[in-house]
Structure 1
Amino acid sequence: MNTYEYINERDILYNLFDCIRIVDPIRKVVIHQIKNEVDIEKLPCYEFWNRNQVCENCISIRAYNEEKSFSKIEFNKEKVYFVIATLIKINCTKYIVEALKDVTEDNILEEISKKSISDITKEVNRLNEIVVKDELTGCFNIRYVNEMLPFNILDSINENKTLSVCMLDLDYFKQINDTYGHLCGDFVLKEVGKILKDNIRKDIDWVARYGGEEFIIVFNNMSLKNVTKRVQAIKDKIEKHEFKWKDKVIKITSSFGISTLDEDTKTVESILESADKMLYLSKQKGRNNISHK
């Protein structure tokens, strides 16, 4: 037996890892789990972490998208695990192998034995958020959009739920940078990010900085009528907000484009393109507008 055959028999993996499982990162389900039989197609992959929702820092969808291996630290309220996700192909279908190693006693997290469950959870969450959060605004980043939106779309289709993507842009933002400097521009972006995060439903909707002064809000299972009302409220809050920078008070407006999931927008690319077209339409109307498909 050569080395490859030995590894392929998985004996070495049994010694290296405490749990090995095959997951579908798009549907977020476990396909097979070594050492523990599971009811395939029904067990959410995030259930192992005692969560009722998808991991923010999902390395499996990242490995799936980028076709590289990724790793992270996770905590299931009892033990700390080192997790590796790597791509495999079965009958031309892409899946992810997740290998989990219990490192609770390995001091991966400093003085873990002295920390409470709450403190460990906060520290693990902090480490994982670094990967998917925009450093300036604290909103999610483009990587998160590419990793979470496909799942949201598939889940909405399977569960017959609505989904809307809102793309927004700060009007004439370049003038702020040119007049007051980029530090002031960064301050405005932080304030806008806070307004956006404070005006969506926690753990249901999410907001990401899409680049420059552009943001995306994803509304899950909310009617277009209510999405439009929520976006109007956000637009009004931005317009009325006084951005106090040194001895100056800066006022800005914003433009919005909304696209709702339908037969023509069943992919990430199509729904983002549709929202972008609606945003462009709002700008053509003179900015400080909301357009929706």
Structure 2
Amino acid sequence: MKNLLKEVTYKTIKTFKAQDIVLPGDYSQQFSLHAKECDLDLEEEDIVLKSLFQDKDELMNITNETSSNLSSLHQTTSNAKLAIENKNASALLIVHNEIVAMQKKIESLQEQLCTDTLTKAKNRKWFLDYYLLNEKFIDDGYLVFIDLNNFKYVNDTYGHIMGDMVLKYLSTYLQDEIKGHNTSLVRYAGDEFMIVFNNHLPKDRLINFLDKIQEKLAKRKLKSKITDTLQFSYSYGIASFVKEDTFTDVLEIADARMYENKQKMKNKEYLEKFN
């Protein structure tokens, strides 16, 4: 449900991207239309509200953990001060161990805050913090925008549990394939992902690499209790950027090229079917 809400929200925002003014009634109408397309039942008010507050609960847990760590840090600091004053080596060792344990907890919380719960890819917050400053890129590189093909069909035919399995499978597959390229997979929204590559790799070699992993996935079958014959694929678009380029402008180019790639794949499937 939460993933569907994110997908509907993203599609609704995208509809009004070029408009300076959006009236509440227009937004509500478009949101309802996209909800219907994604089979999201807005009448299930309790479920919708529960999904909306899941992220909030997760953030509250992280906030509480952080608060607890700060209290522990205050106590540890006091203990360290006493140990130094009393020249107590064993007490200082205990303090050191407490600080190391606390550091590991903080690192774990930071990882949770920047990781998508379902797919274990990095989330949009991580992307914004890592690559952008004031919505502009801080370095040169390539943005790859990825979108699953026929994802609505998967949800409609096999159910949303299978849809989640597909998202997790795709995420694991892509993360394995890009290992060694000094980058991370980012879940942007719904069934859309992003990868940023630095510009050290020539663009033609990068496209060749992306084409190969795209074709490799399309030949695989996802096996589960629901079906052992599901094949799925994705389309991608790539856009180069330089330092100070605005993220939304670069994303728009990558998005347009992704749709070109999607059409190219449809044409290829059609030709293979009738040849």
Question: What TM-score, normalized by structure 2, do the two folds share?
Answer: 0.57
Letter of the structure 1 residue corresponding to residue 116 of structure 2 = D
Aligned match of 1:261:
241
| Alpha-carbon distance in 2 for matches of 1:116, 1:248 | 49
Q: Which one of 126, 141, 154 corresponds to residue 123 of structure 2?
A: 141
Aligned match of 1:194:
172
Give the alignment of 1:140-289 within 5 angstroms: 140-150=122-132, 154-156=137-139, 162-202=140-180, 204-221=182-199, 222-246=201-225, 248-249=227-228, 250-261=230-241, 266-287=245-266
| Alpha-carbon distance in 2 for matches of 1:133, 1:189 | 14
- Which piece of structure 1 moves more, 211-220 or 239-248? 239-248
What do residues 118-174 of structure 1 show as CA deviations (whole Å, max 9, x unaligned)? Answer: x65543222111111110000011222222221596542xxxxx4100111111011
More helix by share: 2
| Secondary structure, counterpart of 1:248 in structure 2 | coil
| Alpha-carbon distance in 2 for matches of 1:72, 1:269 | 34
The answer as to 2:113 corresponding to 1:131 is yes
Q: Is the 8 A contact 2:121 2:186 kept in 1?
A: yes
| Alpha-carbon distance in 1 for matches of 2:75, 2:205 | 45
Q: CA RMSD in A?
A: 3.7
| Alpha-carbon distance in 1 for matches of 2:259, 2:218 | 19
Q: Is the 8 A contact 1:259 1:275 kept in 2?
A: yes
What do residues 192-218 of structure 1 show as CA deviations (whole Å, max 9, x unaligned)? Answer: 000111111458212111111111111
| Secondary structure, counterpart of 1:198 in structure 2 | helix
Distance 1:154 1:142, change over 3 A: closer
Q: Is the 8 A contact 1:153 1:267 kept in 2?
A: yes
Letter of the structure 2 residue corresponding to residue 285 of structure 1 = K
Aligned match of 1:105:
76
| Secondary structure, counterpart of 1:176 in structure 2 | helix
| Alpha-carbon distance in 2 for matches of 1:259, 1:288 | 23
| Secondary structure, counterpart of 2:132 in structure 1 | helix
Shift of 1:283: 2.3
Shift of 1:220: 1.6
Distance 1:257 1:239, change over 3 A: same
| Alpha-carbon distance in 1 for matches of 2:113, 2:266 | 33
Question: What TM-score, normalized by structure 1, do the two folds share?
Answer: 0.54
| Alpha-carbon distance in 2 for matches of 1:192, 1:106 | 45
Shift of 1:115: 6.3
Gaps of 5+ in 1: 1-69, 74-80, 83-100, 157-161
Larger relative contact order, structure 1 or 2 (CA cutoff 8 Å, min sep 6): 2
Q: Is the 8 A contact 2:137 2:242 kept in 1?
A: no
| Alpha-carbon distance in 2 for matches of 1:229, 1:153 | 27
Q: Is the 8 A contact 2:76 2:98 kept in 1?
A: no
Q: Is the 8 A contact 1:169 1:256 kept in 2?
A: yes
Aligned match of 1:88:
none
| Alpha-carbon distance in 2 for matches of 1:246, 1:106 | 53
